[in-house]
Amino acid sequence: MAGHSKWANIKHRKARVDAQKGKVFTKISKEIMAAVRQGGGDPNNNFRLRLALQKARSVNMPNDNIQRAIQKGAGELEGTNFEEIIYEGYGPAGTAVMLEILTDNRNRTAGEIRHIFSKSGGSLGETGCVAWMFNRRGYLEVSKEGHDEDELMLLALDAGAEDFEAGENAFEIYTRPDDFEAVKEKMEAEGISFGEAAITMIPETTVEVPDVEGAKKALALIEALEDHDDVQNAYTNLDVPSEVMAELENE
């Protein structure tokens, strides 16, 4: 499971303050609808819906928006049927990219995603071309402030976590997908709060892009993909060294 901490650091260093709350809410609404259609509208019996609702509350999504999405997913209100697709491809410098898509028009989305890859110096690949490089894992992030590393690690491992790493700014806890909710709940019962809590795709190893121009192109691709309305999640094995990231942030 090498490279996790680097992946998480890149993920957070490149994150921007997203002023487009409408777009964030739209993506979460789509996830809620898909979750309800898959497993019903009761979050007590639908783990995917519980995760989507947690994400909605973490960004202060209004309750009215949440309820409308649940009703659309349940067929109580008119809503769009979304198809779930995984796209895979390659970014600049041979980096791997995986996308989780929710779309109402597969052909339109495929063309637009292919264009984003090509414009950024990457290429959309065939199914399975990079999926083998990633593992689905639960991810929990805890601020370093106010926490002792050894104590937190013991608590996480006792709760059933699979791995624990100290990142630059936070402690990173990894679980098996099936154990994610139980680990999260046990730690919350001990007063631990999380900066991020999600089931995500973690790269087995990362690809370091040590030059500013290469890193800029690789990050631009990920940001362009994340900005697309149909992309729910974008995952990459990109690793940009701290000094290069600092240069980019100062530009």
* pLDDT (0 to 100) of residue 18: 47
- Its sign, for the CA torsion 26, 16, 239, 139, is negative
Q: Spell out the domain ranges in the chain.
A: 21-74, 83-132+204-250, 134-203
pLDDT band of 147, cuts 50, 70, 90: very high
Single out the residue of 47, 6, 29 nearest to residue 197, CA to CA: 47
> CA 58 to CA 42: how far, in whole Å?
19
Neighbouring-strand partners of residue 201: 136
> CA 4 to CA 10: how far, in whole Å?
10
Quick one: tokens of 86?
Answer: 């995984």
Which of 6-15, 21-30, 79-88, 164-173 is predicted with the least confidence, judged by mean pLDDT?
6-15
Superfamily of domain 21-74: Integrase, N-terminal zinc-binding domain (1.10.10.200)
Per the rule left: phi > 0, alpha: psi between -120 and 50, beta: everything else, 75 is: left
* pLDDT (0 to 100) of residue 24: 86
Q: Is the pLDDT of residue 110 over 50?
A: yes
Q: Is the pLDDT of residue 196 over 70?
A: yes
pLDDT digits 0-9 by tens, 40-63 = 999 999 999 999 998 899 888 999
Q: Is the pLDDT of residue 155 over 60?
A: yes
Count helices and strands (H / E) in the chain.
9, 10
The residue-averaged pLDDT of 245-250 equals 78
The residue-averaged pLDDT of 191-201 equals 90
Percent of residues, the chain, with pLDDT higher than 70: 91
Q: What is the mean pLDDT of the chain?
A: 88
> CA 99 to CA 75: how far, in whole Å?
27
Percent of residues, the chain, with pLDDT higher than 90: 67
Across the chain, which distance is largest between two alpha carbons, in Å?
Answer: 52
Superfamily of domain 83-132+204-250: YebC, transcriptional regulation domain (3.30.70.980)
* pLDDT (0 to 100) of residue 20: 52
The residue-averaged pLDDT of 175-199 equals 93
* pLDDT (0 to 100) of residue 192: 95
The residue-averaged pLDDT of 126-151 equals 94
Q: Is the pLDDT of residue 16 over 70?
A: no
Architecture of domain 134-203: 2-Layer Sandwich (3.30)
Topology alike, domains 21-74 and 83-132+204-250: no
pTM: 0.85
- One-letter amino acid of 222: I
* pLDDT (0 to 100) of residue 98: 95
